Every structure is written in C-alpha cells, then in structure tokens.
Amino acid sequence: MNTNLLYVVDDKGAIQYVQIAKDLWEKMEPLVKPLLSAKDASELKQQERPLADFKTLMEYWDFSYPYTPNVECPCCQAKTDDWRNDPKERFLLTNATLGGLLVFHCKTCGTTIRHKYFKDHVCYEHTTPKKR
C-alpha cells in the first residue's frame, strides 16, 4: 500500500480529496504552484456538500440563541450580513458539522474563517494564508 497518497471518499465512494505526504508534496509543490495560483478566486463556486451539512445543522439547531448568517473577514474587512444571499458571494462555506462548526473561505484574501457554535456562545477564529 502506498502511503504517499490517501484518497478521501464520500459515502458513495467518490473521491472528494487527495491527501499527499509532506515529502511528496515538497517535490510536487514547485510544479503545482503555478496551477494553484492561476485559479482566480472569482472562479471558486459553492460546493453542495457543505450546504447539505449546514442544512442538517440548522434542522437540529438547539442552541440558546438564534443563528445569524453574517460573516466578516478580520484580515481584509470583507463582510456580509448573510453569506447565503450575498450577491457578491464574498464567502464560500467550505465545511459544516452537526457539532456546530462552520468554516468559510474569504474570496477576497483567502483567509479561512471559523465560526464555532457552542450552547451559549459563538467563538470566531481565522487563519490568513502566508504570502510567499
């Protein structure tokens, strides 16, 4: 079994992601980097899977406060009152869990924004990509 590549599949067996060992990535990165940077953020589109997981979270929402759909990027100050209905689509939902985690991608600067919902409060975190 080759441990340099790990295929992550959905419940139907379709490949969703490929995890690459660090040693292999270090060899591949110079070849792949131009392809990664060539993809314009405006081309990024919302994927269905996290939307379905978000819908499940909303169906089982039992926190002591209402859900608010506003998202703000602390890096570039992009913001929206409702990421679901933002005509400029500034943020993409990249992950949602029934446990209360929502992860967004800021299309303006690439920052990852996490909303962690707990029974009585929300915790906001972010990770901004390093400039190379």
Which letter does DSSP use for residue 9 in this model? E
pLDDT of residue 38: 44
- The sheet with strand 112-117 has its strands ordered as 91-96, 101-106, 112-117, 122-127
Which pLDDT band, with edges at 50, 70 and 90, does 63 fall under?
very high
pLDDT of residue 131: 66
Residues with Cβ within 8 Å of residue 13, at least 6 apart in sequence: none
pLDDT at 6 over 70: yes
Q: Do strands 112-117 and 122-127 pair parallel, antiparallel, or not at all (unpaired)?
A: antiparallel
User: Is the Cβ–Cβ distance between 82 and 70 less than 8 Å?
Assistant: yes
- The residue-averaged pLDDT of 39-55 equals 74
pLDDT of residue 39: 53
